Amino acid sequence: MKKYNNTIFSFTIILTIIAFFFSTNNVFSQNEDPNKTMKKMATAMQIIRFAYVDSIDEPDLIENAIIETLKELDPHSAYISKEDIDKANEPLVGNFEGIGVSFQLFKDTILVIAPVPGGPSDKLGILSGDKIVKINGEDATGSKIDNNYVFERLRGKKGTVVDVSIYRKGKKELIDYSITRDKIPINSIDATFMADPETGYIKLNRFSRTSMDEFHESLSELRTQGMKNLILDLRGNTGGYLDIAVKLSDEFLNSDKLIVFTKGLKSPLQEFKSTAEGEFKDGKLIVMINEGSASASEIVSGAVQDWDRGIIVGRRSFGKGLVQRPFRLPDGSVIRLTTARYYTPTGRCIQKPYDDGTESYLADLRKRLENGELIHEDSIHFPDSLKYYTSKNRLVYGGGGIMPDIFIPWDSTRISDYYSDLIRKGVLNSFTLTYVDNNRKKIEKEYPTFDSFNENFSIDEKLMDKFFKHAEKEGVDLDEEGYKSSETFIKHQLKALIARNFWDMDAYFEVITEVDDGYLKAVEIINNDELFEELQISDN
């Protein structure tokens, strides 16, 4: 069977679909004739059915046409098939249905990293380090095991039952469990802890439906520990729901402050303002961003910066300021079509240019690295036409993304080729998984709490020798120069991964922030009243 991928044909099909949809909503301009377009398309399809040399798969043809045409519009308009809608929405909806474990594939085995607290597996007593070796009586080890294999067998409708057999170190016999699946939350907050006696730290990885509940829970937890100031880490946060970004911004801003506005050719101006609600209107605030922070992350950091509510620390954000709306097609699939742009309170357009096409747009981060922007602040140049001023008359720039108040260079010296090879081949991960599996009772006895582990556990030379031998077995020979360059980072990664595998993600981040330049700078600024105030004073 032969597929027809003519670009003109693809463009015509998608125009027909969009023309039909919008014509029913009276938003097409008077100069366009959707009926003429539809007639042309229908004629073209009749000709193809009647005269084309090979058989065609018409639904597949149209789907490919939609995909290719949306690529020509902008980098963020997208087609989602009916089959993929649930998967696409899952991270933002904030839950799925399954047995409730985080896992990794380790030596062709399903290794439980941790049961989800309160989930079905946790309630039955499944533990970190358990290995799922049978599912519904079928052997679940070997080369056939991949993520899809696990998802297909362990996820399922709430109320259904799956039988698993588990190998637990120290037990001679397998342990059998019948697990009744349930709704499992997907957390959008990776870490919550106190950076110092008065400063709380929250790392948010996405803006999902559950994010505000999680944020309030984290805020409450930190307040019981004496929090007065807050570091909100949005680095690597690619965004999510607009309304959640507005609600999070509202936590920090006084009443009736413009948070963000949107407008497009066929989308009227829409403004979103703060209310009297919100739990952190006072107290010093630092928001951390980097080149991976996009969309909703940029709405929050832009609002905080424009109203001089806090200090933005890091590197220029991604620059994704296009609004997508879902439009359902007759077969249940969805077009996520860009309908408007985001603007910060001062009027800065968050979206970076995409005039040179999607390929060039997606290569922007590589270009930033090549031109030195990730390392040298003075490599970033903004034209005078993009000058804007905050509520306290501080100069900020538009042109795509949010430029931080304090620039933190990417430390390329830590990322040696040796370190990259260790990451690429999963050596750090596999070593720490094995270490925790072999030393679980010892860790539990010597370090009854994470705090005692963090204070007293160190990666000594004896442990490093074992690590080097493990790395060589995995195909990564010791590179003395590369190790010397990345030594501090490698050791902290090992300690942090051990903490994660034994405790949780909070523990991982609490360890790794000890060598995180951006985090350390944020803590320094928030503890220096004079410096904090100085950064919020006009530089004109």
Q: What is the pLDDT of residue 421?
A: 92
pLDDT at 3: 42
How does residue 14 score in pLDDT terms, banded at 50, 70 and 90? Answer: very low
E strand map for 121-252: 131-135, 138-139, 161-167, 175-180, 182-185, 189-196, 199-204, 229-233
Using CA atoms, how far apart are residues 243 and 216, in angstroms rounded to an integer?
16
355 and 227 in a single domain? The answer is: yes
Question: What are the structure tokens assigned to 101, written together?
Answer: 């474990």
Q: In this predicted structure, what is the pLDDT of residue 105?
A: 85
Domain count, the chain: 4
Contacts of 442 (CB under 8 A, 6+ apart): none
Dihedral (C-alpha) 308, 310, 312, 318: value to the nearest 10 degrees? -70
The predicted pLDDT at position 540 comes to 38
Query: Are 276 and 372 in a shared domain?
Result: yes
Looking up tokens 């009736």, which residue turns up? 256
- Amino acid identity for residue 503 in this structure: W
Query: For residue 451, is it within any domain?
Result: yes
The more confident residue out of 355 and 4 is 355
Are residues 235 and 333 located together in one domain of the fold?
A: yes
Asked whether residue 193 falls in the same domain as residue 147, the answer is no
Residue range 405-440, pLDDT digits in tens: 999 998 877 889 999 899 888 899 889 988 998 999
Both tokens of residue 524? 């320094």
**Does a structural domain hold residue 333?**
yes
Average pLDDT, stretch 194-223?
96
Give the mean pLDDT of 301-324: 96
How far is the C-alpha of 94 from the C-alpha of 116, rounded, in Å?
A: 14
- Residue 135 neighbours by CB under 8 Å, 6+ apart: 153, 154, 162, 163, 164
Closest Cα partner for 207 from 88, 291, 109, 92?
A: 92
Residue 17 pLDDT > 60, yes or no? no
> How do residues 443-479 score in pLDDT, each as one tens digit?
999 999 999 999 999 999 999 999 999 999 999 999 9
Q: Which residue has the higher pLDDT, 190 or 4?
A: 190
Q: How crowded is residue 154: how many other Cβ atoms within 10 Å of its Cβ?
A: 21
- CA distances to 108, 412, 429, 508, 511 from 424, rounded to whole Å, are 18, 17, 10, 20, 22
Copy the structure tokens of residue 370: 């090549």
Going by pLDDT thresholds of 50, 70 and 90, the confidence category of residue 28 is very low
* Residues ≥6 apart with Cβ < 8 Å to 29: none
CB count within 10 Å of CB 519 equals 23
Q: Which uninterrupted H or E stretch holds 247?
A: helix 242-250
Whether the CB-CB separation of 395 and 537 falls below 8 Å is answered with no
For 130, list phi and psi in degrees, rounded to 5: -65, 150
Give the span between the Cα atoms of 309 and 312, in whole angstroms: 10
Higher pLDDT, 364 or 163: 163
Q: 66: domain range?
A: 7-73
Write out the two tokens for 470. 């493990």
Measured CA distances, 504 to 112, 126, 450, 512, 540 (Å): 12, 15, 10, 13, 46
What does the pLDDT read at residue 133?
Answer: 94
Identify the band that residue 305 occupies on the pLDDT scale cut at 50, 70 and 90.
Answer: very high
Do 226 and 311 reside in the same domain of the chain?
yes
Residues 373 and 448 in one domain: no
- Amino acid identity of residue 186, one-letter, is I
Q: How confident is residue 16, by pLDDT bands cut at 50, 70 and 90? A: very low
* Assigned domain for 508 exists: no
* 425 and 369 in a common domain: no
State the pTM of this model: 0.83
Helix, strand, or coil (residue 507) = helix
* Cα–Cα dist 318/374, whole Å: 12
Residue 181 and residue 151 share a domain: yes
Instruction: Indicate whether 117 belongs to any domain.
Output: yes
Residues 31 and 69 in one domain: yes
pLDDT at 31: 56
Co-location of 103 and 236 in the same domain: no
Residue at a domain's end among 355, 389, 410: 410
- Between the alpha carbon of residue 202 and those of residues 217, 509, 519, the distances in Å are 11, 10, 11
User: Does residue 292 fall inside a structural domain?
Assistant: yes
Same domain, 181 and 217: no
Q: Residue 280: helix, strand or coil by DSSP?
A: coil
Judgement on whether residues 352 and 204 belong to the same structural domain of the protein: yes
Q: Using an 8 Å Cβ cutoff, are 420 and 373 in contact?
A: no
Strands (E), 94-143: 95-98, 101-105, 110-115, 131-135, 138-139
The answer to whether 288 and 315 have CB atoms below 8 angstroms apart is no
Residues assigned a catalytic role: 295, 306, 320
- The DSSP bridge pattern shows strands 175-180 and 267-273 to be unpaired
Q: Are 158 and 184 in contact (CB under 8 A)?
A: no
pLDDT value of residue 15: 43
Q: Which 3 state secondary structure label does DSSP give 361?
A: helix
Helix spans in 307-357 (H):
none
Under the banding of pLDDT at 50, 70 and 90, the label for residue 94 is low
Residue 484 lies in a domain: yes
From 185, 209, 230, the end of a domain falls on 185
